[in-house]
């Protein structure tokens, strides 16, 4: 696959703003592993190969087990995830699949996330989910292929 457009070679200002969320997320109370699992799952749903490659690589490098990495798509059934991770993954799926049902994120999904995360952490999860959805759309629209460089971006 060849990229349609090098969006980073154009005006980089919007991408710097989007990337600045990473500093906020790095300082939030949600574990980095949870944020990366969420970003990996959203990237699976959206079919974003460079983001999927990036977050799978980040998780693997951080010591995540193969069982967890291979089971992200089946997190509901796989025994490798904590209740808090399941709540974050559920919120991520519902927020990513907005068109699948009326009413956006169901109340029970939001309540379940609220059982594990305070308002500050829920805000961080919302921002992480929104951010990765934006990146997924940019990179899939422009057909950016996965690469070693995208792992460090």
**Residue 13: per-residue pLDDT:** 86
Question: Tens of pLDDT along 116-125?
Answer: 999 999 999 9
How many Cα atoms are found within 13 Å in the side-chain-facing hemisphere of 41?
Answer: 30
CB 38 within 8 A of CB 16: no
What is this structure's pTM? 0.92
Give the fold, CATH level 3, of 31-151. AhpD-like (1.20.1290)
Q: Give yes or no for residue 153 having a pLDDT over 80.
A: no
Note the pLDDT of residue 64: 97
The single-letter DSSP state of residue 34 is H
Q: What is the rounded distance in angstroms from the CA atom of residue 125 to the CA atom of residue 106?
A: 16
37-96, pLDDT tens digit by residue? 999 999 999 999 999 999 999 999 999 999 999 999 999 999 999 999 999 999 999 999
Distance set, CA 29 to CA 38, 121, 140 (Å): 15, 6, 30
CA distance 47 to 89: 16
> Is the pLDDT at 148 greater than 70, yes or no?
no
What DSSP string describes 65-115? -HHHHHTGGGTTT-TTS-HHHHHHHHHHHHHH-GGGSTTSS-HHHHHHHHH
Each domain of the chain, given as residue ranges in start order, spans 31-151
Q: What is the mean pLDDT of residues 135-139?
A: 94
């Amino acid at each position: 696959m060849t990229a349609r457009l090098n969006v980073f070679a154009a005006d980089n200002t919007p991408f710097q703003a989007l990337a600045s969320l990473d500093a906020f997320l790095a300082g939030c109370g949600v574990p980095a592993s949870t944020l990366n699992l969420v970003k990996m799952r959203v990237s699976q749903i959206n079919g974003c190969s460079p983001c999927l490659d990036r977050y799978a690589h980040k998780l693997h490098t951080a010591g995540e087990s193969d069982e967890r990495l291979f089971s992200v798509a089946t997190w509901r059934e796989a025994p490798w995830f904590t209740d808090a991770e399941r709540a974050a993954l559920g919120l991520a799926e519902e927020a990513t699949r907005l068109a699948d049902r009326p009413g956006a994120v169901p109340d029970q999904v939001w309540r379940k996330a609220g059982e594990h995360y305070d308002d500050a952490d829920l805000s961080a999860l919302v921002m992480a989910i929104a951010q990765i959805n934006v990146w997924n759309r940019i990179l899939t629209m422009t057909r950016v292929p996965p690469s070693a460089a995208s792992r460090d971006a």
